[in-house]
Amino acid sequence: MAIELYATAGSVEKDLRNHVAIVVDALRATSVMITATQNGVRSIIPVAEVEEAVEMARQLGNQRVLLCGERQAKPIPEFHLSNSPLEYTPERVSGRVIVMTTTNGTRAMLRARDAKMVFAGGFLNAAAVAQAARENGENIAILCAGTAGKFSLDDILCSGAIISRLLDIDGKQYMDDLARTALTLYDSYRGDLRASLAGCTHVEHLRALGMEEDIRFCLQEDVMDAVPYYVDGVLRDYTA
């Protein structure tokens, strides 16, 4: 097995058709995808732009469609839900269709769409997404969403957590240098992830906006078994 890690989705230049891709935007888009899937959402449609999301919802023309997402971590006016996983309760999302657009995460998902298979990963489902990826291929590419096109420590640590679970499944594997770095960082800080992210640009931005509870929620490890699986433009639960 071979693992390649990309610090941002924009840094991916190779063809991913022979890879199983795991997209990581731990704070917070893929954590929202995981939580919504865990709580019974029918499907999630990731799109790049706000206008695209509004038009998609209009075309679906269904009262059970929810517009969700953020821009620069802030709620989008007139959208039903923001990018806080705490909002995606069973009462709000079970049986619903979500059209979602975020600053970084949905764009990363769309960048990965040509891969053999595409999953959404986070701390929340690290073990489950590692198992799903390993079941479906030898070559695994982990794409971090990053923040505004730059390296984001929270995504690298989360990738390290997923790589750690992949090693638990199959210890014989090649890792590129960034994957090795992510694993080393995770192994060093796994005892206190919140402390390790103190000062991280994206984390501090969320804290300044009063989103400490979102951070705490997203840093929980292996508390969900849902694995959002992207196919034909839609995310559904691979484990269902």
DSSP letters, 119-144, are EEE-STTHHHHHHHHHHH-SEEEEEE
DSSP H helical segments within 64-176, as ranges?
Answer: 90-93, 105-111, 126-136, 153-169
Q: Using an 8 Å Cβ cutoff, are 101 and 49 in contact?
A: yes
Helix 153-169 vs helix 126-136: crossing angle, to nearest 10: 60
**Could you state, in order of their start, the residue ranges of all structural domains in the chain?**
2-230
% of the chain at pLDDT higher than 70 = 100
State residue 159's pLDDT score: 98
**Would the pTM count as exceeding 0.85?**
yes
State residue 80's pLDDT score: 97
State residue 233's pLDDT score: 95
Residue 19 — pLDDT band, cuts 50, 70, 90?
A: very high
Residue 225 — pLDDT band, cuts 50, 70, 90?
A: very high
pLDDT digits (tens, 9 = 90+) for 99-145: 999 999 999 999 999 999 999 999 999 999 999 999 999 899 999 99
pLDDT digits (tens, 9 = 90+) for 138-179: 899 999 999 989 999 999 999 999 999 999 998 878 999 999
% of the chain at pLDDT higher than 90 = 91
State residue 64's pLDDT score: 83
pLDDT digits (tens, 9 = 90+) for 75-86: 999 999 999 999
Residue 63 — pLDDT band, cuts 50, 70, 90?
A: confident
Where does 2-230 sit in CATH, by number? 3.90.1560.10
